A and B are shown apart, each in its own frame.
Chain A
């Protein structure tokens, strides 16, 4: 029943993007978030679309995963497109709908915005699709570490993230089992009045909570038993390694940003 949920969206295939260090990928996403806004005419937008498409192809992630990730955002994109199409009064009038005059400039403006949002979403999902949750956490921890002197508990935050991510599949498995057990007893989670459905939901939620608390308790005990005492003096099993290709990736992104910038302002 819950079997079709893909955890963290990570797709384990071999690709140049998968092999990059998590830190360089996080940095690249941040850079791209800025670069995307440099595209403002047909030329730069075309370059942006080409660049993002190349990245998608390079990641070797099946296209339908991107489409799946885009679906919820699609409504937002469509909405902004319509707003721009209706309210931008530039260029010539193409046609009139419900008393609004749609200008050619509006259509183009809407299209540009749609491309921007789309590119951002694709870039961001590229990060989670090609980076395992563990690597992602390690990457975030690395970026948080300098803030430790200002009292940011970077290790603890990373540990909390790692535990949460680690427990998602367990929780889903548990949820699936409880859902099945109650369905086998006749529970129907899709039918009935609001009241009966709420009642049926308790049969699902309460066991799930009870089990989660129990598991949290067990985990705390297990950590205590192994002498866990926070991040002080702790070494890592998985060490992030910044390699030449990571530098190349970042340089490429920066060059791409410069190109767009030059095309825009010069």
Chain B
């Protein structure tokens, strides 16, 4: 599903002395079927932007178009409701939203609210649970007895169970150890490819943007500063640094090596790809 922001402005606590403008005339498009990373430092407005995609927030001015749904100031509830079915959202620390007495009950909450066939979803539960890396035996246990990482997997299963067409991930791996972090993002990437989703990953980790995204949107102080393929965005080292964003180490090292005449292809951005190139280039290392 194509997502389009047109001159979107959003102000928190409008009309009070605590007014805070979080988005400032944002114009940006996220193409259907892409895996887009939205990066920016804390307070850049990236989470605010994301909450416009399923109508959790409605623009103060401007409009958001998701597929054929138009969200404008004063949009009706009945327009938003069907959109919530199509757009799945994994919040930061999704385990905080758990409430069910069993894992099954919790996962089924979304599908029931959206009026999906409970029987059909139930049949798919063991598979879904395996997919997020949990044994199906957990279905009948209380989510509150699981470990933090397991709870997060349950919460994510609860979002995936509604079979969204757009998946919004707001720092989904925050607070996980490196291997858990990688496993989770790989899970989302493969789910994205298998189901032909449009995925938006909100993160401040440039390495994640480099490793998993096809497109990168850089936000700063409530507006979009850069957009493009990861490698094109990472070339803008100076403006990224000015926005308190670090270029991923693999790109930084690759560029530095290139400057000292190594034949490194900097269009590859992940650490693995850089390591491979270094290995193949090692014997014929160019000198000064």
Contacts and interface: CB of A to CB of B under 8 A. Distances in A.
Interface stretch (A17-25, A108-116, A203-211): A203-211
A187 B54 CA distance: 13
A181 B85 contact: no
A182 B162 contact: no
Nearest to B56: A180
B113 A184 contact: no
B159 interface: yes
A207 B17 contact: no
A248 to B, nearest CB: 27
Contacts of A190: 77
A234 interface: no
A52 interface: no
A4 B97 contact: no
A3 B12 contact: yes
B126 interface: no
B144 A178 contact: no
Given A3-B12, A186-B85, A203-B109, A181 B97 contact: yes
Interface stretch (A6-14, A71-79, A155-163, A250-258): A6-14
Nearest to B112: A186
A53 interface: no
Interface in A171-199: 174, 177-178, 180-188, 190
Given A62-B17, A184-B89, A211 B96 contact: yes
Contacts, number: 73
B83 to A, nearest CB: 10
A202 interface: yes
Interface string B77-111: 10001001101110100101111000000000110
Interface string B45-74: 000000100101000000000000000000
Interface in B7-26: 12-13, 16-18
A11 B17 contact: yes
Taking each of B18, B96, B158, B162, which has the highest tally of chain A beta carbons within 10 Å of its own beta carbon? B96
A186 B99 CA distance: 15
Contact of B98 (A4, A6, A62, A207): A207
A4 B17 contact: no
Taking each of A1, A11, A13, A203, which has the highest tally of chain B beta carbons within 10 Å of its own beta carbon? A203
Contacts of B51: 180
A205 B99 CA distance: 8
Contacts of A180: 51, 56, 91
B13 A184 contact: no
B149 to A, nearest CB: 16
A200 B152 CA distance: 20
Contacts of B162: 185-186
Given A12-B17, A13-B17, A183 B109 contact: no
Nearest to A12: B17
Interface in A199-243: 200, 202-207, 210-211
Contacts of B87: 184
Contact of A184 (B54, B96, B98, B144): B54
A174 B97 CA distance: 10
A204 B100 CA distance: 11
Contacts of B13: 3-4
A122 to B, nearest CB: 19
A177 B171 CA distance: 14
Contacts of A6: 16, 18
A184 B91 contact: yes
A141 B87 CA distance: 50
B114 interface: yes
A185 B109 contact: yes
B158 A185 contact: yes
A184 B99 contact: no
A181 B12 contact: no
B84 A183 contact: yes
B19 to A, nearest CB: 11
A183 B110 CA distance: 9
Contacts of B114: 186
A203 B159 contact: no
Contact of A207 (B16, B54, B96): B96
9 contacts: A62-B17, A181-B91, A181-B94, A183-B56, A185-B110, A185-B113, A186-B113, A207-B99, A211-B96
Given A185-B110, A185-B113, 20 more contacts: A6-B16, A13-B17, A183-B84, A184-B54, A184-B84, A184-B88, A184-B89, A185-B97, A185-B109, A185-B159, A188-B81, A200-B113, A202-B99, A203-B97, A203-B99, A203-B109, A207-B96, A207-B97, A207-B98, A210-B98
**Closest CB pairs A-B (n = 5):** A186-B113, A206-B99, A185-B110, A184-B89, A181-B97
